[in-house]
Amino acid sequence: MCGIVGYIGDKPAADILVSGLRRLEYRGYDSAGVAIVNGRLKVCKRQGKVDELQRALDSEQIAGSLGIGHTRWATHGPPSDENSHPHVSTTGDFALVHNGIIENYATLKEGLIRKGYKFESETDTEVLVHLIEDVMKTTGLELPEAVRQALATVVGTYGIAIVSQDDEDLLIAARKGSPLIVGVGDGEYFLGSDAAPLIEHTRQVVYLHDGEMVVIRRSGMDVRSLDNVPLNKEVHELEWDLEQIEKQGYDHFMLKEIMEQPVALENCMRGRVNVDDNSIRLGGLLQYMDQIRAAKRIIIVGCGTSWHSALVGEYLIEGLARIPVEVEYASEFRYREPILEKDDVVIAISQSGETADTLAAIREAKERGALALGICNMVGSTIARETDAGVYLHAGPEIGVASTKAFTAQVMVLTMLALKLAKGRTLSDEAFAGYLKGLAEIPDKIRDVLDIHEQIAQLAQVYRYASNFLYLGRGYNFPVALEGALKLKEISYIHAEGYPAAEMKHGPIALIDRFMPVVFLAMHDSTYSKVVSNIEEVVARQGSVIAITDNGSEIERHCEYMVRIPRTQEFLTPLLTVVPLQLLSYYIAVLRGCDVDQPRNLAKSVTVE
């Protein structure tokens, strides 16, 4: 989704802004622009990639050490130069960039048009610009105060940044529902809608919270609530370093992140899984464990891939700890008046910690008195802050839009949680020890799966022209079938569906012919013999079977291709079976010439409803 950068200091702003926008490209966008102040306000914006903007800037050579930049992901008005940000006041004095949605923009726009303001774009953002302008005109207030007053009339969500040619020592930012982080340097400040554009300049950051506005000058910054109460903000140290957000020789971030999974999971388990003293320690949940154990129901909410890991979580927590679990799309949960009781526990899963629907679901849960927990990757993200407690993934930054290592790390956290809930309740110490040993072996087993990446690349050659795919799995591997199908859809644009293998007979079987590749997750677990029957049903209809399996002798004759992966305990299989599916979608997308890291129309972090 949209990204914001800002700079105030003594270095050339254009370079800093453009490199910051490049770091935000992964979020998904369709146009980019900057506004830089150097005596006068200069704006340069283009539909298309940051490269287009860079070319335009190269020809204009805009100097100045104060500026803002934006990558836009269209909501109101199609991608175009006009609709790109920054948007500028009628007088040309100040420029504004905006993430989020102004819900009452139509009413505000009508009023402003009546007052004679002319609109050059179809965006909701331009309303904000004229609104601020109008407050200045009618009240005589200075820009910061006018921004504060204008924001009071706005309904919706925003992260905004503003610069003005009337004050070259002023950068204003404010947030409500759309993240903003200020990077603190030496006599200079950086602004980012996430940490990625800041890391190469500073690791000292201040997280703006909802309802806060910051006025930044080179000599310091002043953070206040939107109703003008001064706030003392803590400076945090970013955990990530530059290397982690670069490709390190890989062609794509997605491949790098797939390959990083063994290390990501080791980091996720570090200090938590203790084989020697047969324990799991989840520090963030320590004081809530009894409450979670006593929960009547655990409700897990998330979107996209995080929803799939939530489904694995349902199998894990119900299967191991015997606590009832429900999984809901965050977007449905928040609007359907869910029945929540005080003994319920709601867990939000979100890699970014910023997904608008997941955040709203957690707010809803808290309002209704439930304990709200978060499983997030981004440290300091809004969901991490607003939940009562939680567990970080520690998987390192995920830049590829299609989530990979975050999925396995989410499943890892849910596995640790399920085992911890089960210990001494449904699992003896001895059984727990066996499970813990299996868990600790997972990173090495993923290494073994990754070793066969060339075999999967060859498989991709065979299936690159397919128009449809079916993914089938049962039990713990049903959510993996969904995730495999999602990965393929997202980055290769091939239509794919995931189904519980037995459900195939209630619909998808009608689609099966010799042109339909069917990926089976056929691990030697409690559902194996049933899956073998499902494979036979597909073969009988000439479907082309690809099996991901740890066994295979019975099914070999039925399969066009078999991908053999290591054996593990049933509850741990999703951590292995998903890996070949990630690789398959990656290699197919590359062969089809798709933009793997920035697939069309998708965004890494969906910060609007």
Tell the smallest beta-carbon distance from residue 288 to ligand G6P (Å).
22
Tell me if 358 contacts ligand G6P by CB under 6 A.
Answer: yes
CA geometry: angle 295, 300, 302, nearest 5 deg: 160
Instruction: Calculate the alpha carbon distances from 391 to 283, 375, 388, 394, 409 in Å.
Output: 8, 5, 11, 9, 11
- Please list the active-site residues: 2, 604
Nearer to ligand G6P, 1 or 14 (CB): 1
Nearer to ligand G6P, 108 or 606 (CB): 606
Q: Which of 65, 350, 408, 582 binds ligand G6P (CB under 6 A)?
A: 350
Q: Applying CB under 6 A, which part among 171-179, 202-210, 575-583, 598-606 lies near ligand G6P?
A: 598-606
Nearer to ligand G6P, 144 or 380 (CB): 380
d(CA 177, CA 98): 12
Which strands make up the sheet holding 297-302, listed edge to edge?
A: 325-329, 297-302, 344-350, 371-376, 389-392
Q: Applying CB under 6 A, which part among 41-49, 226-234, 348-356, 456-464 lies near ligand G6P?
A: 348-356
Tell the smallest beta-carbon distance from residue 306 to ligand G6P (Å).
4
Which strands make up the sheet holding 495-500, listed edge to edge?
A: 495-500, 468-473, 517-522, 544-549, 561-564
Question: H or E element: which one contains 38?
Answer: strand 31-38
Tell the smallest beta-carbon distance from residue 281 to ligand G6P (Å).
24
Residue nearest to ligand G6P (CB): 304
Size of the site for ligand G6P (CB under 6 A): 16
Nearer to ligand G6P, 73 or 94 (CB): 73
Tell the smallest beta-carbon distance from residue 602 to ligand G6P (Å).
5
Contact 70, 84 (CB under 8 A): yes
Q: Applying CB under 6 A, which part among 31-39, 320-328, 346-354, 561-569 lies near ligand G6P?
A: 346-354
Tell me if 501 contacts ligand G6P by CB under 6 A.
Answer: no
Contact 53, 44 (CB under 8 A): yes
d(CA 177, CA 607): 8
Q: Which of 121, 157, 267, 352 binds ligand G6P (CB under 6 A)?
A: 352
Nearer to ligand G6P, 332 or 429 (CB): 332
Question: H or E element: which one contains 469?
Answer: strand 468-473
The interface mask with ligand G6P, positions 288-327, x = CB under 6 A, is: ---------------xxxx---------------------
Residue type, 444: D
Bridge partners (DSSP) of residue 177 are 158
Q: Applying CB under 6 A, which part among 76-84, 107-115, 210-218, 350-358 lies near ligand G6P?
A: 350-358
Q: Which of 539, 481, 548 is nearest to 514 (CA)?
A: 539
d(CA 61, CA 419): 59
Nearer to ligand G6P, 194 or 550 (CB): 194
Q: Which of 355, 408, 527, 544 binds ligand G6P (CB under 6 A)?
A: 355
Tell me if 405 contacts ligand G6P by CB under 6 A.
Answer: no
Nearer to ligand G6P, 31 or 403 (CB): 403
Q: Which of 443, 521, 445, 513 is nearest to 482 (CA)?
A: 521
Could you tell me whether strands 325-329 and 297-302 are parallel, antiparallel, or unpaired per DSSP bridges?
parallel
Extended strands (E) in 82-239: 87-88, 94-99, 158-164, 167-176, 181-184, 189-192, 204-207, 212-217, 220-225, 236-237
Q: Applying CB under 6 A, which part among 541-549, 550-558, 582-590, 601-609 lies near ligand G6P?
A: 601-609
Span 411-440, contacts to ligand G6P by CB under 6 A: none
Tell me if 606 contacts ligand G6P by CB under 6 A.
Answer: yes
Phi/psi for 546 (5° steps) reads -115, 125
Tell me if 602 contacts ligand G6P by CB under 6 A.
Answer: yes
R_g (Cα) of the chain, nearest Å: 25
Tell the smallest beta-carbon distance from residue 307 to ligand G6P (Å).
8
d(CA 55, CA 227): 42
Q: Applying CB under 6 A, which part among 43-51, 199-207, 315-323, 597-605 lies near ligand G6P?
A: 597-605
Q: Which of 83, 84, 351, 544 binds ligand G6P (CB under 6 A)?
A: 351
How remote is the C-alpha of 57 from its chain's centroid?
30
Tell me if 403 contacts ligand G6P by CB under 6 A.
Answer: yes
Tell the smallest beta-carbon distance from residue 565 to ligand G6P (Å).
23
Nearer to ligand G6P, 27 or 201 (CB): 27
Contact 411, 386 (CB under 8 A): no
Nearer to ligand G6P, 358 or 549 (CB): 358
Contact 187, 173 (CB under 8 A): no
Tell me if 130 contacts ligand G6P by CB under 6 A.
Answer: no
- Sites of contact with ligand G6P (CB under 6 A): 303-306, 350-352, 355, 358, 401-403, 602, 604-606
